[in-house]
A and B are shown apart, each in its own frame.
Chain A
Amino acid sequence: MLIDWFTVIAQAVNFLILVWLLKRFLYKPVLDAIDAREKSIAAQLEDAAAKEAAAAKERDEFQRKNDEFAQQRDGMLKKAGEEAKAERQKMVEQARQEAEALKNKLQTAAQNERDGLSREITSRAQQEVFAIARKALSELAGANLEERMTEVFIQRLRGLDADEKANLTAFLKTSHHPALVRTAFELSPPQCAAIEAAIKETLSTSNEVQFETSSAIVSGIELTTNGHKVAWSIADYLASLERNVGELLDDTHGNEK
């Protein structure tokens, strides 16, 4: 007989015992270990994913801050550049104004100096001319300057043409004011009388003649009525001299520049 029923029962029992034992000592621990490992790996992967996400977030935040910083920096640089430009323009403008003021000041000073010099030259020239004329006249003709001036004035008065004479006469007649004779120097009484006589004679007037000494008259004699004047003066010559000296000074000043 190939089948022994006791052995069949015993083997069945043995097998069931083996099933229980292996379940307890083999399958459960091994499967538990595998599950634990899988859970651990899953947790690690999840953790890694979370860390990656956090890192990505951090990176994005950093990038955002970096961009913001760059924008701020650019803005500040631009602002600083604009401010520097404005400041530069302001400083250039200020310097230009200062330079302009200095230039004006210098020009004014130069003009003042030139004017002063011109006045000085005029004054000196007048004195020199008078001195030369006075000396020349006294040495050559035995006459002083004032006398000669009076004579010349009287000659000029007498030498007026008819129209001028008529005009002056007409004005003197209509005027209630005396005829005014202004001189740069004090006239002696004979000179005054000579001039008065010449005026009355030439212009046929009975108006009084008033004499006045004025420093404004540059070494000369003039007769003024209402708007008309008969005069002899060294002022014309001095004006010509002043003009020539002025041109000379301008040329010198120009060359110095």
Chain B
Amino acid sequence: MRLSSDEVIFWQHGFFKLNETIITTWALMLVLVLGAKWITSRLSPGIHISRWQSTLEIIVSGIRKQIQEVGLQRPEVYIGFIGTLFLFIALSNLCTILPYYEPPTGSLSTTAALAICVCIAVPLFGIAEQGIGGYLKTYIKPTPLMLPFHVISEISRTLALAIRLFGNIMSGSIILGILLTITPFIFPVVMSALGLLTGMVQAYIFSILATVYIAAASSERSE
């Protein structure tokens, strides 16, 4: 039994390889980018808009509103990063209803990559907001004694992000696989629906936590 889609390798040359995770990610990227391009190529700034444009505007303005509610006053700066996190994870988890589909978010490599991206993005946004000195001072507040705890906190929350998403999605897939072998009717459908809900919740949690971390690193939230 496979625990990760990383194990399905289509091509390998030394360190480089093309596994199912990467291929699926590319496919999801293609869907997202082409879909966005297709819809936005016919955008109308007027009052009468298409249903697709309306859907897209609801999603984008919803993300922007969430970022604002967390405390970031300039959501357009962060929406690229945070919105992409949410859309990628959400689409990745939604597609679990497709047969033979293995979600990339069920791979610890993917979730670790996303968590590392967040881990790097948080100080970058923090430095962009309040300068390198201002950002580094947050590690010794309220006292320099807190520096190790801040560093441990950074590492642990990055790990927690990666493991939480991986654990939820992977466990969902594995439980579904096990149930299919035991009770192939009805019950797996319910679990699949539950898996969809879990997937959406995890996408929300991952992106909202990233937002909270960025907001904490920037001076905007506290002020």
Contact = CB atoms under 8 A, between A and B. Distances in A.
Chain B contact residues: over half helix, strand or loop, or mixed? Answer: helix
A237 interface: no
Interface residues of A, number: 34
Interface in B37-54: 37, 40, 43-47, 53
A19 B80 contact: yes
A34 B68 CA distance: 16
Contacts of B40: 25-26, 29-30
Contacts of A5: 109
30 contacts: A2-B4, A2-B109, A4-B17, A4-B109, A6-B16, A7-B17, A7-B19, A7-B110, A8-B113, A8-B116, A9-B113, A11-B22, A11-B113, A12-B114, A12-B117, A14-B22, A15-B88, A15-B117, A19-B80, A21-B32, A22-B33, A22-B83, A23-B80, A26-B83, A29-B40, A31-B64, A33-B44, A34-B57, A37-B46, A40-B46
Nearest to B87: A22
Contacts of B192: none
Interface in B167-202: none
Interface in A5-63: 5-12, 14-23, 25-27, 29-34, 36-37, 40-41
Given A10-B22, A21-B29, 20 more contacts: A2-B109, A4-B6, A4-B109, A7-B21, A8-B110, A12-B114, A14-B29, A15-B114, A15-B117, A16-B117, A18-B29, A18-B33, A20-B80, A21-B33, A21-B36, A25-B33, A26-B40, A27-B76, A29-B43, A30-B56
Nearest to B22: A10
Contacts, number: 123
